[in-house]
Amino acid sequence: MFEPPQRSVDHDVEASMRLFERAHVGEAAALEPRRPRKVLVVLDGSAQDRFSIAVAGALRDRFGCELAVLDARERIGGNDLAEQTADGLKARALAKPAGDSFQQILDGVTAAASDLVIVPCPYGRELDAVGPDSTGTVIDVLLARSPVPLFVVRKPFEPADSVVSRVLLVLIGENRAAPVAAAWAAGLVALSGRLQLQLVLEEEFYENVRELMQSLNPEVDLSPESLGEALTQAHARLHAALQKTAASGDFSYQFQTHLEGEAALVPLEDAGTPALLVVALERGDHASEGHVHDRIRHASNPVLVVPG
């Protein structure tokens, strides 16, 4: 049988205790939706650029946000791509700096005072050429260091303005970044659109907590259903807050919970239109970090990664 490392077990024990403690919650207030004000559009010359540009234009038209464009490719001397794109978007082109692509992007976030970054994945490579399991070094570094949410474009789609008609907020276990991610999901979902909160009970987390409980009392056999119920109760406040936010925000809201591997996510595409996946990134949490990487690798949908 697989034996998890002690650090993993200790973390899961701590997470499970927080989960049960948070099951007792008071009345929740509606969330304050978060919306972009300054967006950095990162180009890499791949097929994803067209979708990134369309998403940026849709955000500008809806929210009136300022756009900045950056060509962060290495060993590219000119800045024609960024300047031409900026002209079409009525945006400003950032001067092309030197250095690694990930550092150029991080510096661009600072230079443009951005609160959202649209970036293709894998950066600088066509998805079909490298395969679906690759995210690339640039995305790995941005996930570790970006101070603002990343709108990760994984596959080109059209039309881009319908991406936020369905928004799926997918959470695994207890996650400190969940309220911020929920606020972004509520802020981006289209008017008359649909927001769904999906709680996923991770199989490894369940097994570790079950072993912990049985070590304390061998007669106790924790069922997935009971831990799933605790997971639901732990997010009861967030669920209630999203209900109230939807009622005042003119979008519909649904809630679902399931075990990892036993039920698939709801269909992610309707007639070729992708849903936007929103995931909460709690840095330093191996379950959260692994979940975010898996969602980016395995979903062709655009993914909004919101760090806590």
Please give the structure tokens belonging to residue 161.
């303005």
- Mean predicted confidence (pLDDT) in 217-243: 71
Kindly compute the dihedral angle of the four CA atoms of residues 21, 24, 27, 28, in this order, to the nearest 10 degrees: 40
Residue 252, pLDDT > 80, answer yes
Which range of residues forms the domain containing residue 131? 38-156
CB 123 within 8 A of CB 138: yes
Please give the structure tokens belonging to residue 180.
């911020």
Q: Are residues 86 and 50 part of one domain?
A: yes
Domain boundary among 125, 156, 187: 156
HSE of 88, CA atoms in CB hemisphere, 13 A:
15
User: Can you name the residues that pair with 306 across neighbouring β-strands?
Assistant: 280
Q: Is residue 251 part of a domain?
A: yes
Average pLDDT, the chain: 82
Q: For position 3, what pLDDT does the model report?
A: 46
User: Cα separation of 169 and 120, whole Å?
Assistant: 20
Domain boundary among 130, 156, 182: 156
Number of domains in the chain: 2
- Mean predicted confidence (pLDDT) in 94-108: 94
Q: What pTM did the predictor assign?
A: 0.83
- Mean predicted confidence (pLDDT) in 8-16: 50
pLDDT band at 115; cut points 50, 70, 90 = very high
The residue to which tokens 């990892």 are assigned: 260
The terminus-to-terminus CA distance of the chain in angstroms comes to 34
Please give the structure tokens belonging to residue 67.
């756009």
State the CATH number of the domain containing residue 151. Answer: 3.40.50.620
CB 79 within 8 A of CB 104: no
Domain boundary among 123, 140, 156: 156
* Three-state secondary structure call for residue 201: strand
